[in-house]
Amino acid sequence: MVWMGLLVLSPFLVSLVGCQHTQNSSAPTHPAGEQSPLGTGNLSFPWSRLRLPRYIVPLHYRILLHANLTNLSFTGSVQIQIDVQNNTNWVVLHSKGLQISKATILDQNLSHLSEKVLPVLHNPSHEQIGIFSPRVLSNGQKYFLYIEFGAELAEGFYGFYKSTYRTSTGETRTLALTHFEPTSARMAFPCFDEPSFKANFSVRIRRSPEYTSLSNMPVIKTLKISDDLLEDWFAASVKMSTYLVAFVICDFKSVTATTSSGVQVSIYATPEKWQQTHYALEVAVKMLDFYEEYFNIRYPLPKQDLIAIPDFQSGAMENWGLTTYRETSLLFDPLTSSVTDKLWVTMVIGHELAHQWFGNLVTMEWWNDIWLNEGFARYMEYISVEATYPDLKVEEYLLHTCFAAVGHDSLNSSRPISSSAENPTQIKEMFDTVSYDKGACVLHMLRHFLTDEVFQSGIVRYLRKYSYRNARNQDLWDSLVNTCSEEDFISGKHCYSSSQAAKNAYLFAGEHLDLTAMMNTWTLQKGIPVVTVTRKGSRLLLRQDRFLRTVLPSDSIWPTLQKGFLWHIPLTFKTDASSSIHRHLMTTQTDSIDIGEDVSWVKVNTDMTGYYVVHYEDGGWDVITKLLRENHTALSYKDRTHLIHNAFQLVTAGHLPINKALDLIGYLRLETNTVPLLEGLGYLEAFYRLIEKRNELEVTHNLGKYILQFFRAVIDQQTWSDSGSVSERRLRSEVLALACHLDDPPCLERARQNFKDWLQSNRTLSLPTDVAETVFAVGAQDDHGWASLLHEYNISLSAAQKAKILFALTCSRDTNKLQRLLELGLEGKVIRLQDLSSLILMVARNPQGYHLAWDFVKENWDSLVQKLQLGSFCIRNIIIGTTGQFTSPEELAEVQLFFESIKEQVSQLRATQVALDNVKKNVRWVQRNLEPLKNWLNYQMQ
């Protein structure tokens, strides 16, 4: 699943977004032959735990569903073949919001065990039902559980829910679809809704003839039930978890192609957006071909459908054979989609198709290890896009994924990659920056440590061994260190004997490496290390500490927060004395390396392949600054970007004065690579956006003036077109957006002229896609422009264009207009509910809107939770994003007061603690750095 992260990735905002299985306890049972009363009044619910008992295992579901898209309800039945592993009278499974009308149990010959309908008990707090059988279900026997049920199509984005779209003639059409991850299959049919209960699924769907139905597998036959009702039968699925089951009933159009191995790929969209599906088709075919080769495992289904959904909370979802997407994540319109939109579509498809192996073929055993799905899929985005679309320069973005992870992980409120999660709210919160971004960056570090070849062969071994099964962290480490048990021992260099396997040892740099011990330090403890480097003659002295941006080393709590933290860090470094990359495994608090007397500079964490921050003590940063000014190309663009990032992170953490970091980026006048340029510019912009909200007029003015002066040459080089490489186009979008935000006269003049031309063409003129958002944002500043954009937003058939217009509308300086947007978002008609959290964050980014957005969240909190669900990334983004620009003790107190008032609701949420940590960090940053920044700017402006 791809979630929609925070829009503003700044150093001040956190980017969004081990537990053992419950042991078998004895199954509730009555003595054989004893008939218990059938009235549920005599029965109490037989199970008290959140996790289902293990003594009944589902083997095959036969599901029949009939959705009525007129009255927005559905009815259905499910027959589940179960394997009983303890004598019991009870079957306990999941159900949420379903009206159960009938439940029976049949033996293997399909004979009823009881003449009467069986009693069904409900435990709504655990989303479970218990079905009582008067005859004991015997250990070792298989039975069929048959249940009939019905419900309304859900409001919102989970379970079996309704969506609508409007045609260009104004007609509203309805569709029904599913989104089950992580715990919502139980809203569509009663099931054993935990990832380890894998089974086969045979789906039948009844529909009106004007609709199409889709599911994980192809349709094998269609029966005519009556003149206005058809029944589609889908082929039986492979063995999979319930959260991957999917069905859609819609009237969409599709385009289809076939991969080199014969998999049929189709892209579905609303009929009027059909023309925007062709790029996704090309990408999906290429990606499936790539993954089959990379994993050396055939895609196991005959087809892969990708469908663009008008109402969809996540970015996308990896249902096996039927991946579902937001329209912005799948559709590409050459006239309105920018190069950034194109990259996003490519990466999201790469992510979801990687899941067909990581997550679908091999699934984590429980949600505590969701990173095994999401961290891998996030990392495979980069590997797959780099291989299939090298011109998109996706490797330039991997650094930012890791920077987002560092931002989150350097708060005390972070969590380990593998964390306990039991109830649905806690499980939803696992889909966060730690699982996705930190997971990807730890895998990136591991790949570079083990080498590409060993990493790839290890994950192929992992996927082969655990196909159609569930896995844990340990299973991955065992696969990567090339171990195998006696029974699957094979000869060859990648397999050790069982005695060697017990050591989990991989020979690296002349040492036996305990990979499990190493990786446990990255997955079972929270946080990120900072490696402090000091030069003493020919030796490099190293010290590792936990990197925290919320607490200073001088604070009394510092030693407590450091206690017990130690990482096994695969260090890499380069010097001016040789072109090779040096490696060293640091497993202790302090260490040293001999680098020779002749070395004049050292850069640790080469290309940021390692997940750690580096601090150069005792004048080390001065040496780096001098190197960048005199010969910046001695370091790769990734190293230069990493140095800028580390320097400003160390400022926030209190390890480095802000003037040192600002002096470091002085070399950017010489920089020609987009990535370090944007990194340095990004920090200056972040400071500006923070300070402009504080009514600090002098420093705001001086900082804006400095940015425009310093980057004048870069700004003036930009053309208002779509020409150039992907990197050049990305730079254009970012630089011109900031220049206009800083009221740069030439930028504003050009944007206004472009907007005027667009209006005069009756909005038919195709603006250059890279600058369209900036043109719209400038145009939205007057009443007529704003109203015209809102009208265009309402009728546009391009999701990419709508996203640009919505951002522009939130740039208005008129608080009444911002308030109106927020109300439209909550209403969910003109602005869809799926865009509400993004809308709130965009308003919060506006200096005139950031208190408005926060007040809106407080006033509408209950409604937001009801519409978006408590543990969802949308609520998390709203909590963290609306408070992310607060910088005063008064604002901190206000946030604490509100969180206290909703304490009962949010007691399980980590997001409130992350938000508080963030505000505390901002408050301290301003207290420490505002005056030095002011002085530095005054000196620069002399």
Q: DSSP string covering 85-130, please?
A: -S-EEEEEEE-SS-EEEEEEEE-TTS-BS-SSPPPEEEEGGGTEEE
pLDDT at 907: 84
Mean of the pLDDT values across residues 496-513?
41
Q: Quick one: pLDDT band at residue 941, thresholds 50, 70, 90?
A: confident
User: In this model, does residue 527 exceed pLDDT 90?
Assistant: yes
Mean of the pLDDT values across residues 580-593?
95
Strands (E), 658-756: none
Which residues does 36 contact at the CB level (< 8 Å), separation at least 6?
A: 30, 42, 43, 89, 132, 134
User: In this model, does residue 115 exceed pLDDT 90?
Assistant: no
Please provide the distance, in angstroms rounded to a whole number, between the alpha carbons at the two ends of the chain.
52
Residue with tokens 């139905």: 213
Residue with tokens 């930190």: 438
The rounded distance, in Å, linking the Cα atoms of 336 and 801 is 6
Q: Which residue has the higher pLDDT, 484 or 443?
A: 443
User: In this model, does residue 38 exceed pLDDT 60?
Assistant: no
The rounded distance, in Å, linking the Cα atoms of 285 and 571 is 38
pLDDT at 41: 66
Of 66-75, 572-581, 771-780, the poorest mean pLDDT is in 572-581
Mean of the pLDDT values across residues 586-612?
95
User: In this model, does residue 484 exceed pLDDT 80?
Assistant: no
Mean of the pLDDT values across residues 395-416?
96
What is the DSSP secondary-structure string of 414-478? ---SS----SHHHHHHTSSHIIIIIHHHHHHHHHHHH-HHHHHHHHHHHHHHTTTEEE-HHHHHH
pLDDT at 40: 62
**C-beta of residue 793 within 8 angstroms of C-beta of residue 809:** yes
Mean of the pLDDT values across residues 39-45?
76
User: In this model, does residue 485 exceed pLDDT 50?
Assistant: no
pLDDT at 26: 44
Mean of the pLDDT values across residues 94-117?
94
User: In this model, does residue 559 exceed pLDDT 70?
Assistant: yes
| Closest-CA residue to 8 (of 682, 647, 680) | 682
Query: Catalytic site residues?
Result: 352
User: In this model, does residue 33 exceed pLDDT 80?
Assistant: no
User: In this model, does residue 20 exceed pLDDT 70?
Assistant: no
Of 26-35, 198-207, 459-468, 652-661, the poorest mean pLDDT is in 26-35
pLDDT at 510: 34
User: In this model, does residue 602 exceed pLDDT 50?
Assistant: yes
> Can you say how many angstroms the Cα of residue 707 is from the centroid of all Cα atoms in its chain?
32
- For the annotated binding site, the residues are 351, 355, 374
> What is the residue type of 397?
Y
Share of the chain above pLDDT 70, in %: 93
Q: All domains of the chain, ordered by start, with CATH?
A: 48-251 (2.60.40.1730), 365-523 (1.10.390.10), 528-666 (2.60.40.1910), 828-931 (no CATH)
pLDDT at 512: 55
**C-beta of residue 324 within 8 angstroms of C-beta of residue 176:** no
pLDDT at 39: 46
What's the pLDDT tens digit per position in 263-301?
999 999 999 999 999 999 999 999 999 999 999 999 999
| Closest-CA residue to 575 (of 529, 539, 629, 612) | 539
Mean of the pLDDT values across residues 186-196?
98
The tokens of 280 are what?
Answer: 């996704």
Task: HSE, CB side, 13 Å, CA atoms: give it for residue 242.
Answer: 30
Mean of the pLDDT values across residues 762-788?
96
The rounded distance, in Å, linking the Cα atoms of 8 and 265 is 34
User: In this model, does residue 13 exceed pLDDT 60?
Assistant: no
pLDDT at 731: 96
Backbone angles phi, psi at 714, to 5 degrees: -65, -45
> What is the residue type of 714?
V
**C-beta of residue 635 within 8 angstroms of C-beta of residue 603:** yes
**What dihedral angle (degrees, nearest 10) is formed by the CA atoms of 818, 820, 826, 831?**
-90
**C-beta of residue 83 within 8 angstroms of C-beta of residue 57:** yes
User: In this model, does residue 12 exceed pLDDT 70?
Assistant: no
**C-beta of residue 181 within 8 angstroms of C-beta of residue 427:** no
Give whole-number Cα distances, 802 to 333, 587, 925, in Å.
12, 51, 36
The tokens of 137 are what?
Answer: 């279900």
Q: Quick one: pLDDT band at residue 42, thresholds 50, 70, 90?
A: confident
What pTM was computed for the model? 0.94
Give whole-number Cα distances, 312 to 173, 250, 327, 378, in Å.
16, 15, 8, 20
What's the pLDDT tens digit per position in 121-146?
999 999 999 999 999 999 999 999 99
Task: HSE, CB side, 13 Å, CA atoms: give it for residue 791.
Answer: 9
**C-beta of residue 519 within 8 angstroms of C-beta of residue 371:** no
| Beta-bridge partners for 491 | none
Residue with tokens 């589609």: 232
- For the annotated binding site for Zn(2+), the residues are 351, 355, 374
What's the pLDDT tens digit per position in 295-309?
999 999 999 999 999
Edge-to-edge strands of the sheet including 159-166? 159-166, 172-179, 247-250, 212-215
Mean of the pLDDT values across residues 240-244?
98
- Residue 905's CB is within 10 A of a number of other CB atoms, namely 15
The rounded distance, in Å, linking the Cα atoms of 863 and 357 is 38
**What dihedral angle (degrees, nearest 10) is formed by the CA atoms of 565, 568, 570, 576?**
60
User: In this model, does residue 375 exceed pLDDT 60?
Assistant: yes
pLDDT at 552: 87
Q: Quick one: pLDDT band at residue 506, thresholds 50, 70, 90?
A: very low
Mean of the pLDDT values across residues 235-254?
98
The rounded distance, in Å, linking the Cα atoms of 678 and 691 is 20
The rounded distance, in Å, linking the Cα atoms of 319 and 363 is 13
| Closest-CA residue to 611 (of 533, 523, 674, 542) | 523
| DSSP annotation of 306 | E
The tokens of 677 are what?
Answer: 């340029």
Mean of the pLDDT values across residues 189-218?
98
Helix (H, G, I), strand (E, B) or coil at 753: helix
User: In this model, does residue 23 exceed pLDDT 50?
Assistant: no
